[in-house]
Amino acid sequence: MTFLEFKKLLIDAEISLPKFSKLLKVSEKNLQACKKKESVPNAIAVAAACFAHMHKAGMDYREIIEALDLEYKKKKGVGFAKTKKSETDQS
Protein backbone atom coordinates (compact mmCIF):
# COMPACT_ATOMS: atom_id res chain seq x y z
CA MET A 1 0.00 0.00 0.00
CA THR A 2 1.33 3.43 -0.87
CA PHE A 3 1.67 6.13 1.76
CA LEU A 4 -0.97 8.18 -0.08
CA GLU A 5 -3.48 5.28 0.07
CA PHE A 6 -2.67 4.89 3.76
CA LYS A 7 -3.37 8.58 4.43
CA LYS A 8 -6.70 8.31 2.57
CA LEU A 9 -7.71 5.40 4.81
CA LEU A 10 -6.89 7.48 7.88
CA ILE A 11 -9.15 10.22 6.53
CA ASP A 12 -11.90 7.64 5.97
CA ALA A 13 -11.40 6.45 9.57
CA GLU A 14 -11.47 10.07 10.75
CA ILE A 15 -8.16 9.78 12.58
CA SER A 16 -4.99 11.82 12.17
CA LEU A 17 -1.55 10.30 11.77
CA PRO A 18 -0.44 11.43 15.25
CA LYS A 19 -3.58 9.97 16.86
CA PHE A 20 -3.20 6.76 14.83
CA SER A 21 0.39 6.32 16.00
CA LYS A 22 -0.57 7.04 19.60
CA LEU A 23 -3.49 4.59 19.47
CA LEU A 24 -1.31 1.79 18.10
CA LYS A 25 1.66 2.74 20.30
CA VAL A 26 4.02 3.12 17.36
CA SER A 27 6.40 5.98 16.66
CA GLU A 28 4.94 8.72 14.51
CA LYS A 29 8.47 9.28 13.23
CA ASN A 30 8.55 5.70 11.92
CA LEU A 31 5.23 6.18 10.16
CA GLN A 32 6.41 9.45 8.63
CA ALA A 33 9.48 7.59 7.31
CA CYS A 34 7.11 5.54 5.16
CA LYS A 35 6.68 8.63 2.98
CA LYS A 36 10.23 8.23 1.72
CA LYS A 37 9.78 4.50 1.12
CA GLU A 38 6.45 5.26 -0.59
CA SER A 39 4.87 2.25 1.10
CA VAL A 40 3.70 1.28 4.56
CA PRO A 41 4.32 -2.01 6.40
CA ASN A 42 1.61 -4.62 5.86
CA ALA A 43 0.46 -4.63 9.50
CA ILE A 44 0.00 -0.86 9.50
CA ALA A 45 -1.88 -1.01 6.18
CA VAL A 46 -4.20 -3.71 7.55
CA ALA A 47 -4.88 -1.68 10.71
CA ALA A 48 -5.70 1.46 8.71
CA ALA A 49 -8.00 -0.45 6.35
CA CYS A 50 -9.80 -2.12 9.25
CA PHE A 51 -10.24 1.20 11.04
CA ALA A 52 -11.71 2.78 7.90
CA HIS A 53 -14.16 -0.10 7.37
CA MET A 54 -15.11 -0.25 11.04
CA HIS A 55 -15.74 3.50 11.12
CA LYS A 56 -17.91 3.24 8.01
CA ALA A 57 -19.89 0.45 9.72
CA GLY A 58 -20.41 2.63 12.79
CA MET A 59 -18.07 0.67 15.05
CA ASP A 60 -15.83 2.43 17.55
CA TYR A 61 -12.44 0.93 16.76
CA ARG A 62 -10.75 3.18 19.33
CA GLU A 63 -12.42 1.38 22.24
CA ILE A 64 -11.42 -2.01 20.85
CA ILE A 65 -7.77 -1.03 20.39
CA GLU A 66 -7.53 0.73 23.76
CA ALA A 67 -8.88 -2.41 25.45
CA LEU A 68 -5.84 -4.32 24.13
CA ASP A 69 -3.64 -2.28 26.50
CA LEU A 70 -0.82 -2.06 23.95
CA GLU A 71 2.61 -0.84 25.01
CA TYR A 72 5.32 1.05 23.18
CA LYS A 73 8.21 -1.19 22.20
CA LYS A 74 11.48 -0.21 23.80
CA LYS A 75 14.52 0.13 21.58
CA LYS A 76 17.23 -2.38 22.28
CA GLY A 77 20.78 -2.69 21.10
CA VAL A 78 23.90 -0.60 20.91
CA GLY A 79 23.36 3.08 21.58
CA PHE A 80 19.99 2.67 23.24
CA ALA A 81 21.14 1.90 26.79
CA LYS A 82 19.39 4.06 29.36
CA THR A 83 21.90 3.56 32.13
CA LYS A 84 25.53 4.53 32.10
CA LYS A 85 28.18 1.93 32.75
CA SER A 86 29.61 2.08 36.21
CA GLU A 87 33.21 3.17 36.65
CA THR A 88 34.25 -0.43 37.42
CA ASP A 89 32.77 -1.65 34.12
CA GLN A 90 34.77 0.89 32.14
CA SER A 91 38.16 -0.29 33.45
pLDDT digits (tens, 9 = 90+) for 1-43: 999 999 999 999 999 999 999 999 999 998 999 989 889 999 9
Please provide the distance, in angstroms rounded to a whole number, between the alpha carbons at the two ends of the chain. Answer: 51
pTM: 0.76
Ordered by start, the domain boundaries in the chain are 3-67
The contacts of residue 10 (CB under 8 Å, 6+ apart) are 16, 17, 20, 48, 51, 52
- The predicted structure's pLDDT at residue 73: 82
Find out whether 13 and 52 touch, Cβ atoms under 8 Å: yes
- The predicted structure's pLDDT at residue 43: 94
- The predicted structure's pLDDT at residue 80: 58
Per-residue pLDDT tens digits for 44-89: 999 999 999 999 999 999 999 999 999 988 777 666 555 555 555 5
